[in-house]
Amino acid sequence: MKGAAISLILLPTLLLSVGCSSKLSRRQAERQIDAMMKPHPVGQQKKVMSPGGVPGFYIDETKDVMPSSFLLDTHKEYGDLVSSSLHKSRSSDDNLLYALNDLGYVNVQEEGPKTVFVYGTPLSYAHSRSVRLTEKVGAPKGTGYSQEYASGFSCYPPPNFTQCSIPPLIEMGHDYKITGIVQDDTHAKVNILIPWKLTALGLALQPYAKSIEVSENKLDAGKSDYYDYPALYAWEHLLNSHTGAGNGPATILFQKFDDGWRIVDENGKSEKDFN
């Protein structure tokens, strides 16, 4: 009888101990990552659909590596001044522009040498061109995004800044693989491998990036000066160091709350903190 009483006293303690030390399993992690990747309603009324996104679901070396934006409205561009003694090869921005032209997102019309009057002073340029956005990008609307958002472009309509953000160079797949979990009682780091491939824009820009790399090598070897060959941008380094497809490592952070494990960002905030 005394032994039974001791068992009854120890049982709740044992259950509490097991519950507090429960670990995050791979299956639990996969379920939460998969759920967050799917479009889902957010906000208090749950009437707005948010595209799926998981904090940390990116390849480290690609974070914040993007080409520059470009103007949305039709505009003129001019080359070096004819009187200038400096001569540069095609710049990185030029390469980006012509890649977008090759893919049909912009139309670049070369117009040859041109003299422009600035405050009454004539300036003669070696070349000029007109640049306009094509219908492939889609017209901007009141939300601040182009109608053809699937193209990857994000365009801001007037009266906001008249420019578009460039689509990503690398597309990450959802068929990730968990390679390991490091955790304690309240925090977990889930290491994954993410499959990736270069997008059509990335593939179109690769030859240009390679040509700039060759130029930079000449600069490093002392065979030219900076004004002949521009240095590489971060996105050009990215394209030169990646082939058509591969896998990259990433880490998803989890934290244990009273209602179970949740995916959190670097500040320890989960989706419930924002919705």
Domain boundary among 111, 134, 167: 167
For residue 162, being part of any structural domain is answered with: yes
- Between 246 and 81, the more confident residue is 246
Q: Provide the pLDDT for residue 141.
A: 60
Query: Is 94 found in the same domain as 41?
Result: no
Query: Is 147 found in the same domain as 162?
Result: yes
Q: Provide the pLDDT for residue 180.
A: 96
Contacts of 132 (CB under 8 A, 6+ apart): 73, 74, 75, 106, 107
Query: Is 56 found in the same domain as 184?
Result: yes
Query: Is 172 found in the same domain as 272?
Result: yes
Query: Is 114 found in the same domain as 194?
Result: no
Query: Is 104 found in the same domain as 159?
Result: yes
Q: What is the pLDDT of residues 20-53, one digit of tens each?
A: 458 999 999 999 999 998 887 766 677 666 677 8
For residue 78, being part of any structural domain is answered with: yes
The pTM of this model reads 0.66
Provide the domain limits for residue 160. Answer: 68-167
Query: Is 230 found in the same domain as 118?
Result: no
Number of folded domains in the chain?
A: 2
For residue 16, being part of any structural domain is answered with: no
Does residue 190 surpass a pLDDT of 80? yes
Query: Is 113 found in the same domain as 234?
Result: no
Does residue 87 surpass a pLDDT of 70? no
Q: Provide the pLDDT for residue 249.
A: 93
Lowest-pLDDT choice from 42-46, 228-232, 242-246, 260-264: 228-232
| Mean pLDDT of all residues in 223-234 | 54
Under the banding of pLDDT at 50, 70 and 90, the label for residue 18 is very low
Under the banding of pLDDT at 50, 70 and 90, the label for residue 218 is low
Domain boundary among 167, 188, 206: 167
Query: Is 179 found in the same domain as 157?
Result: no
Query: Is 247 found in the same domain as 180?
Result: yes
For residue 217, being part of any structural domain is answered with: yes
For residue 8, being part of any structural domain is answered with: no
For residue 12, being part of any structural domain is answered with: no
For residue 6, being part of any structural domain is answered with: no
Under the banding of pLDDT at 50, 70 and 90, the label for residue 72 is low
Query: Is 130 found in the same domain as 229?
Result: no
Query: Is 174 found in the same domain as 271?
Result: yes
Domain boundary among 112, 145, 167: 167
Q: What is the pLDDT of residues 95-122, one digit of tens each?
A: 788 888 888 888 999 998 899 888 989 8
